[in-house]
Amino acid sequence: MTQYLRNAWYAVAYSDEVADRPLGRTMLGTELVIYRDSAGKAVILYDRCPHRFAPLSVGKVIGDVIQCPYHGLQFDATGRCTRNPHSKGGKPLQAARVAAFPVLERYGVICRATTRWRRSPHCPGSNSSSTPRDSGS
Ligand code: FES
C-alpha cells in the first residue's frame, strides 16, 4: 500500500501538456482526467463517468465541459452533470456526479490537492490557502 501525505499538493502535469483535449493521468492510484476550460483554467476530475464508468479522458472537451465518449453526458469543472443528450431538452442527470479535485497551477506545473477538506493546503509562494480553482497563473 502506497503511503503519501494527504494534505498536500502533488504535481500531475506540466502546464504545456494540458490543452483543450483531455489528458489522462494516474496519480497515487487514482485515475484523473485533466483539461482546460474555455478560460484556460485547468480542471482535474476523476477519470470515470458515473454512468457506465467510461474513461472521460477519451472523451472531448466542449467549451467548459467534458463530454463522456460513451453516451455523451457532459460534466463541468465541479463534476456536476450539465447535459444529458438523451433526455428531453438535454436535461442533466442530477445524480450523475464526478469527483472534482482542487487545482493549482504555478511555475508551469499543474497540481492536485489530495484533500477532501474545505480549504486546500497552503502552497509555498502564496500568502494564503488556495481555493480549488486557483489555476492559470
Ligand atoms: S458511460 Fe458516460 S454517459 Fe454513459
What confidence tens digit (pLDDT) does each residue in 3-30 have?
778 778 899 999 999 988 999 999 988 9
> Which residues line ligand 1 at a C-beta cut-off of 6 Å?
49, 51-52, 54, 68, 70-73
Q: What is the pLDDT of residues 46-96, one digit of tens each?
A: 999 999 999 999 999 999 999 999 999 999 999 999 999 999 999 999 999
**Which of 51, 57, 86 has the most ligand 1 atoms within 8 A of CB, as the residue to mutate?**
51
Which residue ranges make up each domain of the chain? 9-113
C-alpha cell at 74: 457532459
CATH 2.102.10.10 fits 9-113, yes or no: yes
96 C-alpha vs ligand 1 centroid, how far in Å?
A: 10
43 C-alpha vs ligand 1 centroid, how far in Å?
A: 19
Average pLDDT, the chain: 87
Strands 133-134 and 103-106: parallel
Which of 110, 112, 129 is closest to 120 using CA atoms?
129
For ligand 1, atom 1, the nearest C-alpha belongs to: 52
- DSSP label of 129: P
51 C-alpha vs ligand 1 centroid, how far in Å?
A: 5
SS3 19: coil
